[in-house]
Amino acid sequence: MPWSGEHPQVSVVVPVFRKAGTVRALLQEFELFISFSSIDCELIIVDDGSSKNISDELFLFAAEREAVRYIKHETNLGKGRAIADGVAIAAAPIIVFTDVDMSYSPSFIEHVYARFNSDPRVHFIVGSRRHPESDIKLNYNIPHRITSWCYNMLARVVVGMIFSDVQCGIKAFRRDAARLLFSDLTVARFAFDSEIFLRAKKYGLRFYEMPVVYQRIKSTPHWIISSGVKMIIDLWYLYATSRAHRSKT
């Protein structure tokens, strides 16, 4: 089904922060999947402070397509903030966010759409690379797995919920739940996923974990270490603020 943009069933939010390279081919790959899907989607591209060449590429891609919307951040505000801004303008009753590098197969969209329609008790659905039915490609490297596992264990302690993969980069929400969870985020960057779960616990929202097809783009050891440190700092901030809030109530 070609993208109509008139009555979308799913809004797909894609945050983009790139300083070099190209993203058009990746977006066209996603477009190809949607063209063969039975689900009517709109695509919301949030340019989170990318270079001028990338921004021009994103703007033109959106301008050429009725069902693609474009939001521009002049500076990098963080992935959480970018997704929140996309959620705020989403028109469909179901909202999915995913990464522009196509690390996750867009077939996830069809699976979550069916799940939401069959189970009204579920407020949001999270992908999990640790789900026994997930298809994980070989280049999901060991340092990244170790960092991800350690962070997930710490996030469980801070949030007080059991989940297998808090940082999986593809998640889906009913629109009302998404706007509740993403409004006024205090952590806009590395630990925003943990804050989403923290808020879900506060509001009593139910989630479901679903397998993914995951093709990891290789990360350098320097990126893994620097990002890991920043994630822990953000997580500590969430822990401290949540304890302070509980002490006042």
More confident residue, 188 or 223: 188
Predicted confidence at residue 4, as pLDDT, reads 59
More confident residue, 15 or 242: 15
Predicted confidence at residue 247, as pLDDT, reads 55
Please, is 170 exposed, middle or buried when counting C-beta atoms within 10 Å of its C-beta (0-12, 13-18, 19+)? buried
Output the average pLDDT for the chain: 86
Q: Which residues, at least 6 apart from 119, have a Cβ–Cβ distance to it below 8 Å?
A: 208
Q: Select from 187, 185, 188, 168 the least CA-distant residue to 126.
A: 168
Rg (CA), the chain: 17
Average pLDDT score over residue span 38-59: 95
Predicted confidence at residue 226, as pLDDT, reads 57
pLDDT category, 151, cuts 50, 70, 90? confident
Predicted confidence at residue 231, as pLDDT, reads 73
More confident residue, 224 or 79: 79
Q: Which residues, at least 6 apart from 143, have a Cβ–Cβ distance to it below 8 Å?
A: 219, 221, 224
Predicted confidence at residue 21, as pLDDT, reads 83
Predicted confidence at residue 227, as pLDDT, reads 65
Q: Select from 108, 135, 129, 121 the least CA-distant residue to 41.
A: 108
Tell me if 232 sits within 8 A of 155, measured CB to CB.
Answer: no
Please, is 72 exposed, middle or buried when counting C-beta atoms within 10 Å of its C-beta (0-12, 13-18, 19+)? middle
Cα separation, 203 vs 38, in Å, equals 33
Predicted confidence at residue 238, as pLDDT, reads 78
Cα separation, 127 vs 115, in Å, equals 13
pLDDT category, 22, cuts 50, 70, 90? confident
Predicted confidence at residue 222, as pLDDT, reads 47
pLDDT of residue 52 exceeding 80 = yes
pLDDT category, 216, cuts 50, 70, 90? low
Q: What global pTM score does this model have?
A: 0.88
pLDDT of residue 102 exceeding 90 = no
* Chain position carrying tokens 């659905």: 125
pLDDT category, 243, cuts 50, 70, 90? low
Predicted confidence at residue 117, as pLDDT, reads 96
pLDDT of residue 195 exceeding 50 = yes
Tell me if 210 sits within 8 A of 111, measured CB to CB.
Answer: yes
Predicted confidence at residue 208, as pLDDT, reads 96
Q: DSSP assignment, residue 168?
A: -
Predicted confidence at residue 1, as pLDDT, reads 46
Cα separation, 30 vs 40, in Å, equals 13
**Domains of the chain and CATH, by start:** 10-248 (3.90.550.10)
| pLDDT one-digit tens code per residue, 120-139 | 999 999 999 999 999 987 55
Average pLDDT score over residue span 234-241: 76
Report the side by side order of strands in the sheet with 124-128. 68-73, 41-48, 10-16, 94-97, 171-174, 124-128, 207-211
